[in-house]
Structure 1
């Protein structure tokens, strides 16, 4: 029988089995800690004392650290804080086995004796779900909160708006709900030169009550929701409701890629965005709001009279300066609300940052290092190897995706803290996360297939602050963790390749070996990035 202490994921810094087991059915400790345990393990009765129960208390240690000790007479959790207690409970569930992840089971269980001591290297560990390209319902978001917490992650980044749909209810501007939240059809396949469409409407949005529910559910499990409103580019859907505030396309896009539909960088557009953010913040009480700032086409701005007049009024000489101005204005509004702005790395290049802005870097190590060296906190999110919308292998059975492959081994190689960086630069790295862009992820089941088990590798890398031990990772997946994912209802990709019903087949979801982004092509493009200056017209990783 496999020692469950050897299959924990992420692998703890110290774990040792001791022989024997302990069966528990009650919990003892401070009421707030007991409540946290019951939330994750089920309605355990409260014991009068620690004997024969799962005992939980706070103790010394670094942020989010914990110690779990199990003996034949009892089990004890000591967390440095509430987050550490929650991580210890997640470890305990893994030790109990797959049954701990099935609904309707009896609270408590049999735990093998041993001890675990652990703490994370990085404070930002998460995943990004793109719900704009293909809408995912509230139930899916709640399930992904549980899956992230299972892997001791603590951020859920929701990409809520894009050219293909606006997913946030507005009570102040109901026209957004009426026209910006759906498209009349969706592009089929990858080839944009002669696109075909499915003729089927697609859309949806979250009410403010939905978002409040997701945020509260996440907070109870130690996860902070980071909402993203991606502007001033990627704004075609919003412009369907407010065409007078933009240039370029003003309809909800049916296909993919970069749109010329962008908000005008003028005070009226800033006012609208700030009002929409204020609505969002009534639902999600978060320290962070992501403002996007990526892939913004600025070429139409100088020819627009309103933009040209504003450009002259603020003394801007290049369109990219307006990009930076727009983001700083919205970021200043966030600062007044006590929130930090997060942006993609293009905004760092155009000056669309404030001193405390968090720069989320997707275009490789060089831009991440520049942002860190400039004194900005950085979240590492490089395309290779954290973009989980890419193929998982070169097998012809793989379903349609944006490019790749990015294998499980590639994801395990993720180095959130590059060894070549200085200590000062490494100190600016808050953490890292995976990305699941949904152009080619049309539903929840396929999301599971694309995200897991690669997210397991990313979770271990950001917990340790270093690449995962790939042979050990594969062994732990095979010997224990995939069974936990099975019990949790996660339709992951098997290590050997897709199951018959997960494969692309020969239809519109067929694998597309041509016209694809490869790692080599991507790295060649990254090498051509400017070291500084304005990104007037960004280039997509799919172009």
Structure 2
């Protein structure tokens, strides 16, 4: 099983599940089981082949699963626990059970071996981040990704909806965002160190608010929380292509067609705060109850703020001593607005080192666990997101057969070896780790097939370490067996032996970044930023 349950004990006896098998128990919990096992076409009833009970003494995601001659018994702490129990039950069935209901093997019963499973996750945040700004992925791909996440008990889908290269969500209050900022005329296709080369093919797309509502509801039914990200105040080229008056200079930008950091930055003045709170209202109105909203705060170039007399005067009027202090104030103001709407702000780690945050702001330390530890020590909850080993846009090998990637090399074994709450941290610091999340930045991920290749099976290792706290010693063997389930689900994962012929897209080039160089650079950046951190 992946992820590995806390306790598995084999029992004598077995039972059989067939299409039309009955699920009994509290409505929400029984519904969770039916959603988790769509291929069985389970029916509700008073006395079932699968009996679901709730136990308030268990955690909300905890469960006990007992199968044998008496059928299937699930005891869960809540709907989420029942859903996870059903996913574990599914992994007791043959690989063919993961095929669509009309596929081979369906229409007959499945034998369930006798087991007792007792299980509960170590971490509540078990996430995948998908950058839909650099390359847009339509709704159908997000719904499929939710299904695959749920099958692995991953439960946070972080959508990077905004960047220099595109704005990806409808706004009825600011329609130029989806009419103008959601597409670009071409896309850079050259590697680092090569001459500039563009494909000259327009790229774009956006989700309507109804799309977001559908995605969020679909995810909630599968115990996945959608975390939207509106990245501010930097990475603002697309926004300023639509509404240049929201920028620090008032100049119009084009939606960026290349990669890298742009000087485009939103103004921190009140009209921008009003704009963003309106966007938050639209997002939360579509998504429904939203516990987290990511507001970015990364890679901000403050030059245009410094050069603006109006912004400098505004900074002085607030009693702030520096532009980094103004950035910190701006992010706190947005976090306050989100708190008023029932959501916690999430930021990348630059926002932590640039100044004081709201105490309840969640920090994602992408530049390494060192800055994550400092954030935890300062009292912030942390979701581990370090480049190594959780940037899945990096290649899995330096082989010339490997498709082009931003950097090298992060393997399945690297992910499996990761510990989200390191033993050398204090108990208080470890208690601040909500979990971990893998990132998929899509500069080199232009389509769903490449996305599959980058995510799987590395996300299987992510599921293992975020559910259990660390990978089990037999993970590699269990993963080999698990690949049959991915085959049945139609996942175009990277085979352990390397890419298949049709997966060898553009060759790996020497211009890609070495992971060791990135980690050295990020460590120096975080120490430099910490030493110059302003007081607010």
TM-score band, normalised by shorter chain = over 0.9
| Residue in 1 that maps onto 2:380 | 376
Determine if the alignment matches structure 1 residue 101 to structure 2 residue 98. yes
Please give the alpha-carbon distance, in whole angstroms, between the structure 2 residues aligned to 1:521 and 1:247.
33
Structure 2 CA distance for partners of 1:246 and 1:106, relative to 1, 3 Å: farther
Which has the higher mean CA deviation after the structures are superposed, 111-120 or 248-257? Answer: 248-257
Determine if the alignment matches structure 1 residue 91 to structure 2 residue 84. no
- Residue 156 of structure 2 contacts residue 226 of structure 2 at CA under 8 Å; is this kept in 1? yes
Q: Matches of residues 503-518 of structure 1 in structure 2 within 5 Å?
A: 503-504=504-505, 509-512=506-509, 514-518=510-514
> Structure 2-normalised TM-score?
0.94
| Residue in 2 that maps onto 1:55 | 51
3-state secondary structure, aligned to 1:490: coil
Determine if the alignment matches structure 1 residue 139 to structure 2 residue 140. yes
- The one of 32, 35, 52 equivalent to 1:36 is 32
1:430-455 per-position Cα deviation (integer Å, ceiling 9, x unaligned)? 11111111110001110000010001
| Residue in 2 that maps onto 1:261 | 264
| Residue in 2 that maps onto 1:478 | 480
Q: Matches of residues 9-408 of structure 1 in structure 2 within 5 Å?
A: 9-24=2-17, 25-42=21-38, 43-50=41-48, 53-59=49-55, 60-104=57-101, 105-106=106-107, 109-191=110-192, 194-247=195-248, 250-285=253-288, 286-351=290-355, 353-408=357-412
3-state secondary structure, aligned to 1:390: coil
Please give the alpha-carbon distance, in whole angstroms, between the structure 2 residues aligned to 1:165 and 1:69.
49
3-state secondary structure, aligned to 1:237: helix
Please give the alpha-carbon distance, in whole angstroms, between the structure 1 residues aligned to 2:108 and 2:303.
60
- The one of 403, 420, 423 equivalent to 1:419 is 423
| Residue in 2 that maps onto 1:539 | none
Q: Matches of residues 493-508 of structure 1 in structure 2 within 5 Å?
A: 493-504=494-505
Please give the alpha-carbon distance, in whole angstroms, between the structure 2 residues aligned to 1:273 and 1:193.
38
1:408-448 per-position Cα deviation (integer Å, ceiling 9, x unaligned)? 11111111011110001001111111111111000111000
Which has the higher mean CA deviation after the structures are superposed, 209-218 or 101-110? Answer: 101-110
1:181-234 per-position Cα deviation (integer Å, ceiling 9, x unaligned)? 001000012236631110000000000000000000000111111000000011
Structure 2 CA distance for partners of 1:46 and 1:368, relative to 1, 3 Å: same
1:362-397 per-position Cα deviation (integer Å, ceiling 9, x unaligned)? 111110000000001111111100110000112111
Please give the alpha-carbon distance, in whole angstroms, between the structure 2 residues aligned to 1:193 and 1:492.
29
Deviation at 1:282, TM superposition (A): 0.8
- Residue 169 of structure 1 contacts residue 207 of structure 1 at CA under 8 Å; is this kept in 2? yes
- Residue 326 of structure 1 contacts residue 352 of structure 1 at CA under 8 Å; is this kept in 2? no
Please give the alpha-carbon distance, in whole angstroms, between the structure 1 residues aligned to 2:44 and 2:61.
24
Deviation at 1:28, TM superposition (A): 1.7
Please give the alpha-carbon distance, in whole angstroms, between the structure 2 residues aligned to 1:158 and 1:235.
17
Structure 2 CA distance for partners of 1:334 and 1:271, relative to 1, 3 Å: same
Deviation at 1:29, TM superposition (A): 1.6
Structure 2 CA distance for partners of 1:247 and 1:191, relative to 1, 3 Å: farther
- Residue 30 of structure 2 contacts residue 82 of structure 2 at CA under 8 Å; is this kept in 1? no
Deviation at 1:103, TM superposition (A): 1.5
Please give the alpha-carbon distance, in whole angstroms, between the structure 1 residues aligned to 2:452 and 2:382.
27
Deviation at 1:495, TM superposition (A): 0.7
Deviation at 1:245, TM superposition (A): 1.9
- Residue 378 of structure 1 contacts residue 428 of structure 1 at CA under 8 Å; is this kept in 2? yes
> Structure 1-normalised TM-score?
0.92
- Residue 323 of structure 1 contacts residue 352 of structure 1 at CA under 8 Å; is this kept in 2? no
- Residue 371 of structure 2 contacts residue 526 of structure 2 at CA under 8 Å; is this kept in 1? no
Which has the higher mean CA deviation after the structures are superposed, 253-262 or 266-275? Answer: 266-275
3-state secondary structure, aligned to 2:133: coil
Deviation at 1:533, TM superposition (A): 5.0
- The one of 440, 443, 448 equivalent to 2:444 is 440
Segments of structure 2 that go 5 or more residues without pairing to the other structure are: none
Please give the alpha-carbon distance, in whole angstroms, between the structure 2 residues aligned to 1:478 and 1:535.
47
Please give the alpha-carbon distance, in whole angstroms, between the structure 2 residues aligned to 1:326 and 1:533.
21
Please give the alpha-carbon distance, in whole angstroms, between the structure 2 residues aligned to 1:218 and 1:143.
10
3-state secondary structure, aligned to 2:218: helix
Please give the alpha-carbon distance, in whole angstroms, between the structure 2 residues aligned to 1:437 and 1:316.
34
